[in-house]
Structure 1
Amino acid sequence: MQPTTFFKEAQAAGAIPQTARLQSSYQFGDEADQLAQLIIAGKKTATTSLYELYEKDGDELPTKQAYDVILDGRQQPVAIIKNDDVQVVDYLAVDATHAFAEGEGDRTLQAWRTAHDRFFAEECQAEGLQFDPATARAVLETFHVVYVR
């Protein structure tokens, strides 16, 4: 199913206002199926991306109150989330509260840093950039699920 079809299905079910617009559709990280299940279960209510990658690609930042379709590892829609907040902060300013809300691993800041340092280093390398935690900026999103099929 296409993300736009899934979004329209949620609107028809009354889960999303008819006037709402779809911001984007995407899968999370290296383990899309596992992370999608954490979102559906309500355990994952936050995510982090690198500001530098938005800047390099000329992409718009996510916005507060926007709707996104979450895809599984097969690129199929599994849920719709609504952003509660979006902030751009220094990467090293990400705190334990945000790490816990990401819902992954043991939910500690230390585990979050280890996983995200590795992931962002790989992501940057693939884009011809150098990841430096001391200078990197992070886009922090908090969200909640509004529709699951």
Structure 2
Amino acid sequence: MANLPSPYTDAITFSFGDSPELNEQLLGLVLAGKKTATCGALRDYQQGKEAMPVAGRRDVVLNGAGEPAAVIETLSVEIRRFDHVEPSFSDLEGEGPYAQWRAEHEAYFTRNGGFSPEMDVVCERFKLIEVLAAGRALYNQVASPIFIVTDIESDGPTPLHNSMLSFASVAIEADGTLHGEFEAQLTQRPDRTTNEQTMAWWATQPEAWEATTANAEAPALVMPRFADWVESLPGPKVFVAAPMIFDGLWMDHYLDEFAGTRVLSGPFKTRQIFRGGGICLYTMAGTLRGAPYLDWGMSKLPAEFYGHIAHTHKAIDDARGFAHVLVELFKISRALPPITGSKSDFR
């Protein structure tokens, strides 16, 4: 087997399944974010055939060729009788409805030492930590990006001088599949000031101001919680804002300052929760509309693109509206002829 990359040189390695074909199939489910649990016969661990999973440990998953393809971290371990495993757990394995899961596991255990409904199995929950080089091609094939469409509200134009008051994010796939929402209000920073013009505008929006400032929490508490939420979602995550230079700038600054991560990904050694450079919804909407630059603008889009959700300056309302816009723009994008070419000289 190829040498394990740092920092996993001493990690335990294993493969899902008992054949190269099944290895690849189950690995694909893990990389797609559809498989976040597995179970194995307790006897195999007791006999030393496999290392017992331990919560908090990170193991390397091998592909069908025996190459290190991914890293997972065990979240929980529980021993149950096979016939006591509930659909709430089997669903996490991502291998189909409960009846299918049961039939396939009965067949698997039968050909690997015998099956009994009373047999003890080790039920493990895990999360994907990293995709390694040997798993990248499969990951790009099976993973469905989740777009974290985010709107922020602030007491001024720049995070260098002012404070972010609230933000909300909608996690959605390009086809409209919803994966959840996150909303928070933030206390103003003592090392920042308010902008007079911005505060005068807020005085004209009392309902939005109340929603923006109610139950505020410290950014040092909120931003790590948001980063954990993003990481808990399956597949690669992409940040989306309208425009990126405003909402994205605020979120990048606050994530960097309070959670040790960024809106952007890149050759950084810090925690990376997003993939790529993100999407500026303002730019995407302008180009896909085929409009000249001076006619760009989110207000130029028809109301149905927003799902008829009013832009209220409450972060969650605005994020939901922008999420609808993103899905509509992807419909336009998919209808365009693809552009292919030789490998770019860009490095």
After TM superposition, the structure 1 = structure 2 runs for residues 107-146 of structure 1, keeping only pairs within 5 Å, are 107-124=96-113, 130-133=114-117, 135-146=118-129
Q: Which amino acid aligns with 1:131?
A: F
Please, which runs of 5 or more residues in structure 2 have no aligned partner?
A: 133-347
Q: 2:65 aligns with which of 74, 95, 99?
A: 74
Structure 1 residues 52 and 41: CA distance shift in structure 2, 3 A: same
| RMSD of aligned alpha carbons | 2.0
- Residue identity matched to 2:81: D
Give the structure, 1 or 2, with the largest relative contact order (CA under 8 Å, sep 6 or more): 1
Structure 1 residues 146 and 131 mapped into 2: Cα distance closer, same or farther (>3 Å)?
same
Specify the alignment match of 1:52 in structure 2: 43
Amino acid across the alignment from 1:117:
E
1:148 equivalent in alignment to 2:131: yes
Percent identity of paired positions between Structure 1 and Structure 2: 29
Return the TM-score normalized by structure 2: 0.35
| Alpha-carbon separation, structure 1, partners of 2:50 and 2:62 | 19
Alignment partner, residue 13 of structure 2 = 25
**1:54 CA drift (Å):** 1.7
Amino acid in the other structure paired with 2:16: F
Deviation for aligned residue 1:47: 0.4
Number of matched pairs: 129
1:91 and 1:137 in contact (8 A); partners too: yes
Cα distance change on mapping 1:58 and 1:122 into 2, 3 Å: closer
1:2 CA displacement: 2.8
Normalised to the residue count of structure 1, the TM-score between the two structures is 0.78
The structure richer in strand per residue is 1
Q: 2:28 maps to which residue?
A: 37
Which whole-Å CA distance do the structure 2 matches of 1:72 and 1:63 have between them? 21
| Aligned residues of 1:21 and 1:67 also touching (Cα < 8 A) | no
Deviation string for 1:85-134 (max 9, x for gaps)? 01111111111011111111xx211111100001001101xxxxx4211x
Larger radius of gyration: 2
Q: Does the 8 Å contact 1:48/1:141 carry over to 2? A: yes
